[in-house]
């Protein structure tokens, strides 16, 4: 049986495009699989809950009850892809928790595949956090997201040890356009007749990259 994927989108730094990637991935999975369940662990708004309210729940890792409630939902092998939009404030506590409770071993036993989409910035905190993840997670579980709008140029060598997912930079006016709460990536693809527009090609490229990632991860776990 195919494994149930759990995508954990995370960074120790704010304003790296984490929720944007969660939105893109959420809409892609809805289009590809027909369903997705997302968990929003953030302090500030707008957040994933504002963009995908029908498929997103709030969650927290501030206390034992919140942690266990979230883990109970993520460990279920129901075939429905999960997304965790993990706020930077919860980064250390979340990964300390999954290390302490043996989440990865339990996930493997239950046919669940956690996939960490790590979004770095050009700072020491990102480098330290990335190396921490590599110490507690198998290399194939970590995918580094190269958000060109944030990193602006070559990704630092510290982050290129494994799988890399690139998100191209959009002009500021298009970034403002897609940040509207009513905007839908899939809706734009369906209703914009001109497929040569920069935004149309950007969305299609990101969806293609997500499809390739799913295929590669599936092949790795056969």
CATH of 4-220, one of 3.40.710.10, 3.40.50.2300, 3.30.2020.30, 3.40.50.300: 3.40.50.300
Structure tokens at 191: 């209703």
CA angle centred on 186, ends 189 and 115, rounded to 5°: 130
Cross-strand pairs, 82: 6, 37
pLDDT, tens digit, for every residue of 86-129?
A: 999 999 999 999 999 999 999 999 999 999 999 999 888 999 99
pLDDT, tens digit, for every residue of 155-213?
A: 777 787 788 999 999 999 999 999 999 999 999 999 998 999 999 999 999 999 999 98
As a whole number of angstroms, the distance between CA 188 and CA 199 comes to 9
pTM for the whole thing? Answer: 0.93
Query: What are the residue boundaries of the structural domains of the chain, listed by start?
Result: 4-220
Question: Beta strand 82-86 with 112-118: parallel, antiparallel or unpaired?
Answer: unpaired
């Amino acid at each position: 049986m195919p494994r149930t994927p759990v995508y954990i989108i995370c960074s120790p730094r704010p304003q790296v495009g984490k929720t944007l990637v969660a939105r893109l991935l959420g809409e892609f999975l809805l289009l590809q699989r027909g369903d997705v369940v997302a968990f929003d662990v953030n302090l500030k708004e707008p957040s994933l809950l504002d963009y995908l309210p029908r498929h997103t729940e709030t969650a927290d890792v501030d206390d034992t009850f919140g942690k266990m409630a979230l883990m109970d939902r993520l460990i279920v092998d129901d075939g429905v892809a999960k997304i965790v939009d993990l706020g930077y404030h919860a980064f250390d506590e979340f990964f300390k928790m999954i290390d302490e409770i043996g989440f990865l071993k339990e996930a493997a036993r239950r046919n669940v595949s956690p996939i960490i989409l790590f979004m770095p910035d050009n700072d020491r905190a990102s480098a330290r956090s990335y190396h921490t993840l590599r110490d507690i997670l198998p290399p194939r579980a970590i995918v580094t997201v190269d958000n060109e709008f944030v990193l602006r140029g070559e990704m630092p060598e510290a982050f290129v040890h494994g799988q890399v997912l690139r998100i191209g930079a959009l002009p500021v006016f298009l970034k403002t356009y897609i940040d509207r709460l009513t905007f839908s990536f899939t809706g734009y693809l369906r209703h914009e007749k001109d497929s040569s527009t920069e935004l149309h090609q950007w969305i299609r490229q990101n969806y293609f990259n997500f499809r390739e990632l799913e295929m590669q991860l599936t092949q790795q776990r056969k």
